[in-house]
Amino acid sequence: MGSVKAELLRLWKWPATWVLIGVWLVMTLTFGYVFNYLALNGGTNTRDLSQQQLISAMQPENVGAAVVRGLPMFGGAIILVLAALAVGSGYGWGTWKTTLTAGPRRVSAMAGTLGALGIVVVLLVALTFVVNLGASITIASLEGWDWSLPGLGVFQALGASLLIAAMWTGFGVFLGVVTKGPALAVGLGLMWAIVTENLLRGVGSLLGPVESLTKVLPGGSAGNLAGAVGGSGAPGVLTDLSGTTAALFLVGYVVFFVGAATLLKVRRDLV
């Protein structure tokens, strides 16, 4: 489909795509391996994590958990920024105007954007996996641990990662279309992903109904799914819901965000 090809071509050559993916990979490496490795070897004070826990977290076997735990909050925020920028800046650049007058129907144009963003986000998750696996194998070899490759369970963790990433992508696309610009979309999205849900969780400890609500908000659902497939020890990871429930909420969010964004895009005048 021409629309996907076109959109992929321009995302591929967009420096922001690679900057964001690069920043994310550096972050996941730093927080997942570098600091743990230093703590393990610097030795004296590993805080509340036992040596055993540190080693386990860095084992190649547990790379699935390492990938998924970063996504509910910080990884999600980066994906949201990517999606919000990709969709929102088209309004200021006037490229939506060019896109919507090129030929394909609006639904196809939107599907092209979503498809290409989807491919980029799958790539991001795949790269996260590869980089984390590389780091864990390197550390395990350096330290001379007995290690083995992850079992089939890793696919569950990767599937969960993709679902979480899809939700944040949809959220970003939705914000980009609703606000018709990159700045507000990114601002609101980051605020929501990093600040608002955490504040609500704080309030939730005082108010029961708010607490139940926070579990099923976008970030809450993502955190619960990550927790259910073995992620732990990262901000945003929760264990209040079953994996299935959390996954169903995430699917609901994806459908809502993508559906609402597409409907708006198709119906609204572009001026």
> Which residues bind to another protein, rule: CB under 8 A?
2-3, 5-7, 9-10, 13-15, 93-105, 109, 112, 269-271
Least separation, in Å, of the C-beta of 116 and another protein? 11
CA torsion 229→253→180→162, rounded to 10°? 30
Residue number with CB closer to another protein (3 or 62): 3
Length of the chain: 271
Which residues have a Cβ under 8 Å from the Cβ of 227 and sit 6 or more positions away?
Answer: 237, 238, 239, 240
Is residue 125 exposed (0-12), middle (13-18) or buried (19+ Cβ within 10 Å)? buried
Pairwise CA distance, residues 63 & 261, whole Å: 34
Least separation, in Å, of the C-beta of 106 and another protein? 8
Least separation, in Å, of the C-beta of 182 and another protein? 12
Least separation, in Å, of the C-beta of 268 and another protein? 9
Least separation, in Å, of the C-beta of 18 and another protein? 11
Report residue 37 CA to chain centroid gap.
Answer: 24
Residue number with CB closer to another protein (99 or 132): 99
Residue number with CB closer to another protein (108 or 138): 108
Residue number with CB closer to another protein (8 or 193): 8
Residue number with CB closer to another protein (89 or 136): 89
Is residue 229 exposed (0-12), middle (13-18) or buried (19+ Cβ within 10 Å)? buried
The kind and range of the H/E element at 109 are: helix 106-143
